[in-house]
Structure 1
Amino acid sequence: METTVRVLPDADEVRVIVCAGEFDQEAVGPLRSATDEALTDPHLRRIVIDVRELTFADSSVLHLLVRLLHSGRLVLAGPLPPQLARLLEVTGMAAAFTVAEGPEAARVL
């Protein structure tokens, strides 16, 4: 599967960033760019990362998600893929993240 990042049009001060494929230190650049742009937008009340099609994530993705978590605006749109759920579990971070069942549910949290 190709690694892709898509930024959906903002709606109701919410930006959804869709991730698909394998994300590691080499491939995380486009996701980092999309999230950096979202973090600097003061009009956004919520940043949703749709991880349903993510097949692999390493510590570089975890670091990026933790940085977003500190903004207080992050919601993950799941369900979480097994590999990402395991990464969050073994690092003790699973309980720190808000996970909604899909992007539409994440938009309204």
Structure 2
Amino acid sequence: MASADRLLPSHFRCAIVFCVDQGGAAPVFSARTETDGDHVRVVVVGEVDMATADTMLQAALREPAGRVTLDLREVTFFDSAAIHAVVRLAQRFPGALTVLPSRQVRRVLEISGLAGQDWVAPA
């Protein structure tokens, strides 16, 4: 098994992985935080819903940051709690948040009227 040091480029300061225990079921959510200077990148995989949205938010807020990238390209489900968490991040990091949405996340952002926000990366 590779050590954690080998999983990230040498310039990354840390990587933190959050998983939510869903009562014995196979994990359907993880959030990995990578820090590079004042830039925090949170890579989210799986379902972001009322059970996991706060964990995603806390992963982004755990380290001091000037810029945050929320990589949601592997997210398969995104509900109103997830939208609320992303809007809170946009308010916390005005002009310094980038959201990389999956197809499913982009559709939810379109329906909610948020897809045109400057923090949503173009398709």
Shorter-chain-normalised TM-score: which range?
0.7 to 0.9
Question: TM-score normalized by structure 2?
Answer: 0.68
Amino acid at match of 2:67: R
Asked whether the equivalents of residues 76 and 97 of structure 1 are also in contact (C-alpha less than 8 Å), the reply is no
Amino acid at match of 2:31: V
Tell me, which stretches of 5 or more residues in structure 1 are unaligned? 102-109
Pairs aligned (count): 94
Q: What is the DSSP-based 3-state SS (H/G/I as helix, E as strand, rest coil) of the residue aligned with 2:81?
A: helix
Asked whether the equivalents of residues 75 and 98 of structure 1 are also in contact (C-alpha less than 8 Å), the reply is yes
Q: CA RMSD in A?
A: 1.8
Report runs of 4+ in structure 1 exceeding 6 Å deviation: none
* 1:74 is aligned to 2:92: no
- 1:35 Cα shift? 2.5
Tell me, which stretches of 5 or more residues in structure 2 are unaligned? 1-26
Determine which structure has greater relative contact order: mean sequence separation of CA pairs < 8 Å that are 6+ residues apart, divided by chain length. 1
Question: TM-score normalized by structure 1?
Answer: 0.75
Structure with larger Rg: 2
**1:5 aligned partner:** 31
> Could you give the per-residue CA deviations for residues 20-49 of structure 1, whole angstroms, max 9, x where no partner exists?
0011101223212212324xx2xx220111
Looking at structure 1, the residues matched to 120 and 66 of structure 2 have their Cα atoms a distance apart, in angstroms, of 16
**2:21 aligned partner:** none
